[in-house]
Structure 1
Amino acid sequence: MLWIAIRMLTGDAQKFYGLLFGIAFSTLLITQQLTIFVNLIERGASGVYNAPEAEIWVMDPVSRTTDVSYAMPSTALDEVRSVPGVEWAVPHLRSAASVRTKEGDLEQVAIIGVDDATLIGLPQNLVEGSKQALQQPDTVIIDDGGLFNMFGPGADVMGERLELNDQRAVIRGVADSIPAFTSTAVLYTKYSRALNFVPGTRNRLSFVLVGVSDGLSAGEVAARIEEQTGLKAQTRDEFAEAGVDFIIENTGIPTNFGITVILGFVVGVAIVGLTFSLFIRDNIRQFGALKAIGLTNMKIVRMVAVQAGMVGAIGYALGVMSTAIFLWSFSGNPFFKGFYIPWQIPLISMGAVILILAITGWLALRSVLSTEPASVFR
């Protein structure tokens, strides 16, 4: 009987491919949009993960993320260093600025000042150049995404001169960094040099990056810092989560992507439901004949379940594979750098496909189960 169900399904090629398209399109839309959403909001934590050595981030109590912060007095650095359990503490400056290229174009950039001696705060890997190049006068290192946005793909920027606050800045390296939520270029330089590049208010220290002594946990030391200094101290994971939460709470991204995912589900129900109903209606006489020769309603349900399962499995596989191909084809674009498909998303898509097939299969089955076998012979 199950083989007959498959033959009935594939016998009408037009409706069979219509069902596959409906499931595959819904899976693609749901999986792709959820993948982009997750990877996009994770960009809110990029500033934290681009400074991998820091186990604790210390900041003013009103600061919320790496991009939404309030400067502290320079004395905060010494206060943090005096806390028991702090192995090391270094200054970290983050500020916005405008630069003028040699062509005269004005670009908005983010300036990040890293510790002069240890260079803690700089991304771990460089695409081009060396970290020690920061010891040379006027040196800055640009992130690879900013390189693409400011100069275009494949541009050779080594030695490129920029005008930054009436001062010369020379690019001598390209950092392999996690892209930020915005497309603003990031320039890394030494902390002392960054103070000259972005003059501002009396307080200039954005964060203090802290390492923890052996045998102590980051959470324990962070609590000591808060108790002793009155500043806010968060572990790497806590501060990264705060960056993600800030995007979710203060942008319309979750709503927009949520609407798209819901539309993908609705489109799947509409296409699959209509096509499945037409398939059942066109084969109602065959189902009636099967009931006439003794097939029970339970076996009819199994036949329809096999048909739905076959369509769902093939359509789901096509949808997930299409999402993977989409991400691979755009992997060279800096916007999609580091994008991946979390394992939870295919499971969510599978649940959506099962729900779509359950709804449409139940709607289609009602007419079959109510069919009288005698109607076939009228």
Structure 2
Amino acid sequence: MNYVQEHAVGAIAWRMLTGDRAKYLGLVFGVAFAVMLMTQQASIFVGLMLRTAAQVIDVTDADLWVMDPRIIYVDETEPLPESALWRVRSVPGVEWAAPFFKALSVARAPDGRLQQVFVLGVDDATLAGAPSRMIEGSVEDLRRPGAVVIDRVGALFIWPGEKGSETGSPRRSDVGRTLEMADRRATIVGTAETSAPFTTFPVVYTRYSEALRFAPPPRKPLSYILVRAQAGEDHAALAARIAAETGLKALPWRQFAWETIRYYLQRTGIPINFGITVILGFVVGAAVVGQTFSIFVLENLRQFGALKAMGVANGTILRMVLLQGAAIGILGFGIGIGMAAAFFEITSRTNVDLRGFFLVWQVAAGTAVAVALIIVGSALLAIRRALVLDPAVVFRT
């Protein structure tokens, strides 16, 4: 078949598809709804899992995390003796090793409001582990006595009703405000943009020595040891060397983040709940598109019969139906992805509880494959009647 004939067949296929606007729009929006549901839920699931490892991901200046061998995820801390820090520092290949403290405490605002917070203590000398994205103030201000840096959204939980940029209204600076933790006064010297934690507790950064005063006194002071490898040092090899020489567990930060995510995947019902929703989106999309597409083909059997009577081969009929399916899939996918992207863009700006959720490109690619399966499957199921159709049906009344 030459180009002119192919073009003519394509034009006929398009006219047949758009001839019944109601069914055409029903097909497109059936795909769009399925795409939006699958993409939105899968992306929220990915964002939720990233939240579980937020405090590992936010530490950008350490290559390895060293911990008690029994720890399996970041929120399960088993303190180490201070001697562990010196043992890690003595391992060949370690450029520096810094203490890192993590604990829960209760912060009291001047108006008496109580709020549970994460207290993260960074190295006094180097400030290793401090937030890298400051909004107000400077990390260096942590060197002041009693100084803390609080995450931007955490401050909204301690002082609710001041949404700031989320509602378009101005918000007063948090710098200079005070909190009381463990009966000691802390002064906010800066605010930082941090990854959203899995639990919605504010995150407070301070120096290691101050953190020991702001949280319930632990029997052992060290939660983790942050390690920077020497230039050219293999991180996995260094982790194995630290484990062999100190008896502690050492993991590259990416591996520790994945172990934390794996813990929540295996120990909670989150994957099942989101998985059911994604599967329902696929099933609903397949059912709506498949049923509507089948009705569309059945209603156009006379047109297909006319084409076969004119000598159009079954292969061309198949290409016509697949072309119609491709048009529906591309339009529906584009609309669905656009709605999902708009959802994340709007909610991330208007609702602080949904910050950190975004449209994951891997999810979009997987959804495109799912849509292709829905379209191809629906087209192949619907085309059977047209392929075995007797052209003489055109001449019957």
Same fold (TM over 0.5): yes
Mapped pair 1:124 → 2:132? yes
Quote the residue 1:163 is aligned against.
180
The secondary structure found in structure 1 opposite 2:53 is helix
The C-alpha deviation readout for 1:110-150, integer Å capped at 9, x for no partner, is 11111111111111121111112212222211112212333
Quote the residue 1:367 is aligned against.
385
Quote the residue 1:343 is aligned against.
361
* Percent of aligned pairs sharing the same letter: 46
Quote the residue 1:5 is aligned against.
13
1:344 & 1:113 partners in 2: Cα distance? 35
Amino acid at match of 2:375: L
- The TM-score normalised by the length of structure 2 is 0.91
Match of 2:58 among 32, 35, 50: 50
Measure how far apart 1:201 and its partner are.
3.4
The C-alpha deviation readout for 1:143-177, integer Å capped at 9, x for no partner, is 12212333241243222221211111221210121
The within-5 A match list for 1:101-120 is 101-120=109-128
Mapped pair 1:94 → 2:102? yes
1:2 & 1:360 partners in 2: Cα distance? 19
Match of 2:267 among 238, 244, 250: 250
1:261 & 1:55 partners in 2: Cα distance? 35
1:89 & 1:302 partners in 2: Cα distance? 64
The secondary structure found in structure 2 opposite 1:168 is strand
1:314 & 1:245 partners in 2: Cα distance? 36
Quote the residue 2:190 is aligned against.
173
1:269 & 1:214 partners in 2: Cα distance? 53
1:305 & 1:201 partners in 2: Cα distance? 67
CA contact (8 A) 2:333 2:368 kept: yes
Mapped pair 1:60 → 2:68? yes
Measure how far apart 1:35 and its partner are.
1.5
CA contact (8 A) 1:24 1:318 kept: yes
The within-5 A match list for 1:73-222 is 73-152=81-160, 153-154=163-164, 155-156=171-172, 157-222=174-239
Mapped pair 1:39 → 2:47? yes
1:123 & 1:305 partners in 2: Cα distance? 52
Measure how far apart 1:371 and its partner are.
2.6
CA contact (8 A) 1:145 1:183 kept: no
The C-alpha deviation readout for 1:6-49, integer Å capped at 9, x for no partner, is 10111111110000001111111111222111122112221112
Amino acid at match of 2:65: W
CA contact (8 A) 1:62 1:69 kept: no
Measure how far apart 1:361 and its partner are.
1.2
Amino acid at match of 1:185: P
2:393 & 2:58 partners in 1: Cα distance? 71
2:237 & 2:382 partners in 1: Cα distance? 60
2:380 & 2:157 partners in 1: Cα distance? 51
Measure how far apart 1:338 and its partner are.
4.0
Quote the residue 2:296 is aligned against.
279
- The TM-score normalised by the length of structure 1 is 0.96
Quote the residue 1:311 is aligned against.
328
CA contact (8 A) 2:99 2:208 kept: yes
Measure how far apart 1:234 and its partner are.
0.7
1:103 & 1:212 partners in 2: Cα distance? 46
Amino acid at match of 2:125: A
The secondary structure found in structure 1 opposite 2:348 is coil
Match of 2:256 among 239, 247, 251: 239
1:130 & 1:331 partners in 2: Cα distance? 25
Amino acid at match of 1:86: V
CA contact (8 A) 2:131 2:139 kept: no
1:208 & 1:134 partners in 2: Cα distance? 19
CA RMSD of aligned residues (A): 1.6
Amino acid at match of 2:26: G
